[in-house]
Amino acid sequence: MPDRQFHTREQVEQYLAQIYPSQEQTILETEFGWVARPILTQEQIANGQGLGLGNYVVNKQTGVITAHRSLPPKLIGEEYDQAIRTGQPIPGYQVFPPMWTVHVERTRETPQEVEYQVRATSLTEPHQSPINDQLVINKQTLDSRTSTPAAHPACQEALAWTEWRSRQDGTWPQTGTFEF
């Protein structure tokens, strides 16, 4: 967590460059934060990466970065400021600093499915018991199910991470750890 406040565009640019080193951002100042949106290369645009491109907001007082939906940055800033002014929850989710460490381990694989043990440990509440869940993924449809009715968000992150890894070389990962 940063130990300084973010009052200038240069401070925010340097901070974001540390977290997202190869990604330029457009930055818009609001009352309580800085709305940032990635600037895509022509190749990224051609590959369709601009569809649904979201925004990030850096809180001026804390440096916490939240991810927000794909609306114009000005609207995201207005929503963000309104939520803080009225004491409502921020309409995004925290992406930095990470709140969870997730470890996935493949426990079973068939031609149709792959199963993982998912273990999530809180980085913000060290005394909280870890989350343990089984995640089963249909390889063709990417539909998934978990061993608990109300799956922890770590399972959705594990689904996205394992699917992304499988696209890298065509195999589902045996094990891995990441933070979100």
Residues in the chain: 180
Model pLDDT, residue 69 = 92
Contact call for residues 22 and 38 (beta carbons, < 8 A) = no
Model pLDDT, residue 3 = 54
Domain ranges in the chain are 9-96, 100-179
Q: What residues in the chain have per-residue pLDDT under 70?
A: 1-3
> 50-87: string of b/e by CB count within 10 Å (b at 16+)?
eeeeebbbbbbeebbbbebeeeebeebbebbbeebeee
pTM: 0.69
pLDDT per residue as tens digits for the range 58-76: 999 999 999 999 999 999 9
pLDDT per residue as tens digits for the range 9-30: 999 999 999 998 888 899 999 9
Question: Which two tokens mark 3?
Answer: 């130990």
Which residue matches tokens 């800085």?
34
35, β-bridge pairs: 28, 57
Contact call for residues 9 and 26 (beta carbons, < 8 A) = no
Taking alpha carbons only, the member of 80, 38, 25, 75 closest to residue 57 is 80
